[in-house]
Structure 1
Amino acid sequence: MTFSLVARCPETGMFGTAISSSSPAVAARCSYARAGVGAVASQNVTDPRLGPLTLDLMAQGLSAPEAMARGVAREEFLDHRQVLAVDAQGRTAIHSGPKALGTWAEAQAEDVAAGGNLLAHADVPQAIVAAYRAARGHIGDRLIAALRAGLAAGGEAGPVHSAGILIVDRVAWPVADLRCDWTEDDPIEAVATAWEVYKPQLEAYVQRALDPREAPSYGVPGDE
């Protein structure tokens, strides 16, 4: 019911996830990232515990493949789960259980991994990885480009209704967490529109948290 990617930007050290699904609010249940550690997507009959568990293991010094192997080994219903991870060195790992729904597939390269289930066809994750690697600019731009490519390559077998991107940087909270939890239109384009609005303000929102005395105004009513 989902296609997604986890990614690292080697230039900035940022991590991000991007995801879309026919299910509602997919990003709220399936996307995880931690600054300086990595990013994880836990999907397909989702167990949300696998995201924080895998990040915790990577924070302890395990590589993405090591954390994946140890983390999923604790999962009772391993055959049903699909989990993707990237670590601080750009190493990637994917677990796709044999009972993942419908047509499922995965693809990996340095700094990026993609996977999906109930896909239109098995080439969708490779299209996502290729688009991420070909894109330039901010990691958020690259995540959007990869999601669009996944949809253009066929995406899910049916229409998608929710999507989201999650980005972490040098602080303890996500610097971007943009979601479309349900629409009958295109949720990826809804998130892309939100990103275009949010991107120019991202650094200012971080600055407002760290030291609001230096934060710029954006001209909202009452903000002088």
Structure 2
Amino acid sequence: MKNTFLFLSLVGFQILFSQVYKNSEPFAHTYSIVAKDSITGDMGVAVQSHWFSVGSVVTYGKAGVGVVATQSFVNPAYGPKGLALMAEGLSPNQALSALLANDEGEMYRQVAFLNNKGEVATHTGSSCIEEAGHRQGKYFSVQANMMLNNTVWDAMANAFETTEGTLSERILEALKAAEAEKGDIRGKQSAAILIVKGEATGNSWEDIIMDLRVEDNDNPIAELERLIKIHKAYDFMNRGDLAMEAGNSKKAETLYLNAQKLFPDNLEMKYWYGINLLNNKEFNKAHTLLKSIFEEDKNWKTLTARLVKSKLLLISDSELQTVMQL
């Protein structure tokens, strides 16, 4: 039954899919990683290249299914079609083999698939520009082509395996390790990271955990790291908003403060922390913070009065007047 399923899948797919190498295909030589967090089940793919907007052609992912990195002379079809095959139940190796068998340009491709079980499949074509190679490990694969040195993929793998932390932090360390080995022979320009949930929620807007791109930058990995930090801060903010809507101002205060610690110069994060101080009746502390914000931008004072009407600020009229006079 299993062999029949695979045969029918491949026959049907062959009718729909034929790949031929074309000179017009994106020239995204690069290094990348696909990986799964064994604890949360989240799956991620990240990439860096000396190519504009590399994330738009290399990284693909779908919650509950897997992630794909397709690079070198990129055939973007490996992304959506690979995910579709894995969603049908094919393993990464079966899915990748099916695509390669119908691709006359397979010798130019470098592709990595990972599914929600953490299984991986990787292909480095024989005509990928040196230095090119890949290394697989438990729940991950790293791959690179057109590198200055052939030490890049081993360095990436070692960094991912030895780093502790969240999936995004471990992936970021793998990218940094590639740069430490001099990375792309041409230099650096863009980077991207995409993380999806291991199990689909049924709501597409909840399935993507992180989707960040650096399209054009002198130091894309450093910029990506900055964006990941900001993303984490705003995740605290979003969770704080939910706590605030639920009427749990103490929890919201803690979450907003965590966000503020990560992004201390952001006025909005300071502001919502101040609003929660008011809701928690910590007036003196709130007044000091809000006064400094109002002095920098008076529009935040205007917004404060409006929050009372929306019942997001629960203070008396007399206390509101005090705040308005700060």
| Structure with the greater alpha carbon radius of gyration | 2
Indicate the SS of the match to 1:44. strand
Distance in 2 separating the partners of 1:137 and 1:59: 29
Q: Verify: 1:43 aligned to 2:71, yes or no.
A: yes
Contact kept? 1:83, 1:94, Cα under 8 Å: yes
Name 2:235's counterpart in structure 1.
202
TM-score of the superposed pair, with normalisation by structure 1: 0.90
Is the alpha carbon distance of 1:114 and 1:206 closer, same or farther for their aligned partners in structure 2, counting shifts above 3 Å? farther
Give the number of equivalent residue pairs: 222
Distance in 2 separating the partners of 1:47 and 1:214: 47
Distance in 1 separating the partners of 2:163 and 2:134: 19
More helix by share: 2
Deviates more, 1:18-27 or 1:122-131: 122-131
Name 1:12's counterpart in structure 2.
40
Distance in 2 separating the partners of 1:26 and 1:168: 18
Name 2:225's counterpart in structure 1.
192
Q: Verify: 1:168 aligned to 2:199, yes or no.
A: no
Is the alpha carbon distance of 1:100 and 1:61 closer, same or farther for their aligned partners in structure 2, counting shifts above 3 Å? same
Q: Deviations over 1:37-63 (max 9, x none)?
A: 111100011111111111111111111
Q: Deviations over 1:165-191 (max 9, x none)?
A: 1111244342211111111x2100000
Which structure 2 residue ranges, 5 or more long, are not aligned? 1-28, 257-268, 273-299, 308-326
Q: Deviations over 1:126-158 (max 9, x none)?
A: 111111111111111111111001111221112
Structure 1 residue 211, shift from structure 2 partner: 11
Name 2:276's counterpart in structure 1.
none
Name 1:140's counterpart in structure 2.
168
Which structure 1 residue ranges, 5 or more long, are not aligned? none
Distance in 2 separating the partners of 1:113 and 1:211: 38
Name 2:96's counterpart in structure 1.
68
Distance in 1 separating the partners of 2:243 and 2:134: 42
Structure 1 residue 75, shift from structure 2 partner: 2.2
Contact kept? 1:176, 1:202, Cα under 8 Å: no
TM-score of the superposed pair, with normalisation by structure 2: 0.63
Distance in 2 separating the partners of 1:46 and 1:182: 19
Name 1:52's counterpart in structure 2.
80
Aligned-pair identity (%): 29
Contact kept? 1:26, 1:162, Cα under 8 Å: yes
Name 1:23's counterpart in structure 2.
51
